[in-house]
Amino acid sequence: MKVLNFGSLNIDLVFSVEHFVREGETLASEKMEKFCGGKGLNQSIALAKAGAEVYHAGCVGDDGGILLEMLETSGVDTSLIRKLPGPGGMAMIQVDKQGSNCILLYGGSNQSVSSEQIAKTLKQFAAGDLLLLQNEINGLKEIVDTAFDRGMVIALNPSPVGKQLQEIDLSKISWLILNEIEGQELTGECKSEKILEKLHQKYPGCRVVLTLGKKGSVYFDGTELLHQGIYSVPVVDTTAAGDTFTGFFLASVMRGETPSKALEIASKASSIAVSRKGAAPSIPSMEEVGVFDLKPVG
């Protein structure tokens, strides 16, 4: 099984701050650092580091060389990425003293995916191959419809939640991996149990993984309900936590791990990531995850 991640590629400008900027406030940052990022890039790197064969499709701008190099160094096939004139995707990220973050996105070349690129890319994949998507590129409906018609298994991380997601037939999605806030926005429910229940009612063929921050994560497929606690580590930067979790979880189930074991592996990988700076650079190797021996909390 091959994995295609049709997703975003960003350059992240990370500002270390005492607190997040408030309305009308001018705040001096303690430090500014530049990293490779974008939910798509982060998840491709996580998949590759977890052992999957990953192809990344998307678009970069004039400043995208560093992004291609990062993917290739991590073992991701970049032959399906298009280089376009003009600015690429960018994120301005504030990270506070507790390691929490807030992010402002500029789509750039990520919003320039064409119908011709979609058709040409998906022709190279077959029934049973995995397609991973987020909501940081344009054309999601066309990508989902075309991939579904080809018999691909589709996993969606619906982040950030926006109007484009309303165009997608989510009954075509096999895996939905999202956090509690995204679950609330999609269902109108606040409690995790209600979020899972409503998602299953609406999309009974979809397996859902819901991450709950300090409360861990849960898996629900309509029959089996599983909970995984977190691992207590010093929190430095949470930017790539969810992306690391997504990549390691999917790579684990693809190689035959049970959902329970996949949750454990993904949670360990995510815990390692939050203890490091940056997005893509914080993602651990499978070897690091394998020797991670803390006990889960909760």
What residues are annotated to the active site? 243
Residues 6+ apart with CB under 8 A from 23: none
Between CA 86 and CA 162 the distance in angstroms is: 25
Length of the chain: 298
Report cis status (omega within 30 of 0) of the bond before 160: yes
**What's the token pair of residue 155?**
């996993």
Q: In the chain, how many H helices and how many E strands?
A: 9, 13
3-state secondary structure 247-285: HHHHHHHHCCCCHHHHHHHHHHHHHHHHCCCCCHHHCCC
